[in-house]
Amino acid sequence: MDITLALFLSLIDIKISAFLICCFYKKFQFNKRFFIVLILLKIPIISYVFKNISFNILFAFMLCFYGFIGFLAMFFSNYIYAINVHFITKLLATHLLFLCDKLLNLKVKVYGELPKNAIIAPQHQSLLEIIAITVYVEKPIFVFQKNLVFIPFLGHFIKSIGMIPVDRSKFNPEWLNLAIYALKSNQNLVIFPEGTRTKFDEVVPFKMGVFKLARLMNKKIIPVYIDTGLFWPKWCLFKKPGTAIIVFGHPIEPDPILLRKALKKLSKNDQKP
């Protein structure tokens, strides 16, 4: 009990921890082991490791929990959609951003005008921009790699909320029909033109799907610059504290060269207040 309580108190602000200890000292009669564990977990390097491990465990648990909701949606889809699937995904993303802030001291700042019923083309460096875009953008529909569908629970949840899978290994016109339907339903379509997660400042060729779709729909695309890879690198279990930025640019014509130039301009934070 003492160790469990010490672990919990180590995750929250030290002032709040001290206040709670003062309030409940007589009731719990904390022993020396409790204070030793609490002091050790307040050492910066130990605290950093422990909070990252705690975040990863909570992150996995929440994905499984909401993925189970998606699994239930296969059998009770009418009831799930009755309470609005976009609300469910936004709730999950909001909780994850809260954990990033409180556990990891990792915040996200968003700049620029948030789009509506648009084709959004962000860079892709980590899961953090997916979480943030889900929170800040209204009704986002993501185009994602089809192999994610086979992840237990999470795959069911992704499918149940209307996300669009695409198989990059072969020509797949079906995703275009689903994307067109999403846009005609006044939703925001999010396509990562790089096709996969990249390192911060890494330059890779754009996939042509987003440009073909925009031309087909006679729409412009919204470039989005991010630097989340600085704080949540690909395949990294330990995140860095700080403030990541996401900058939404002005609409541009669907052209790879124009998109590259727009992202470079946004990287200089020209649109920051």
pLDDT in tens, 36-66: 665 666 677 877 888 898 899 888 888 878 7
Whether the pLDDT of residue 1 is over 50: the answer is: no
Split at pLDDT 50, 70, 90, the class of 92 is confident
Residue 35 tokens read as 């204070």
* Residues counted in the chain: 273
Q: What does the pLDDT look like over 80-90, one tens digit per residue?
A: 454 566 777 88
Q: Give helix 14-28 / helix 2-10 axis angle, nearest 10°.
A: 160
Looking at residue 18, its amino acid is A
Dihedral of the alpha carbons of 141, 143, 144, 150, in degrees to the nearest 10: 70
What rounded mean pLDDT belongs to the chain?
Answer: 79
* pLDDT for res 263: 93
Whether the pLDDT of residue 107 is over 90: the answer is: yes
Q: What angle do CA 106, 111, 113 make, to 5 degrees?
A: 140
Helix and strand tally (H, E) in the chain?
Answer: 11, 7
What percent of the chain stands above pLDDT 90? 36
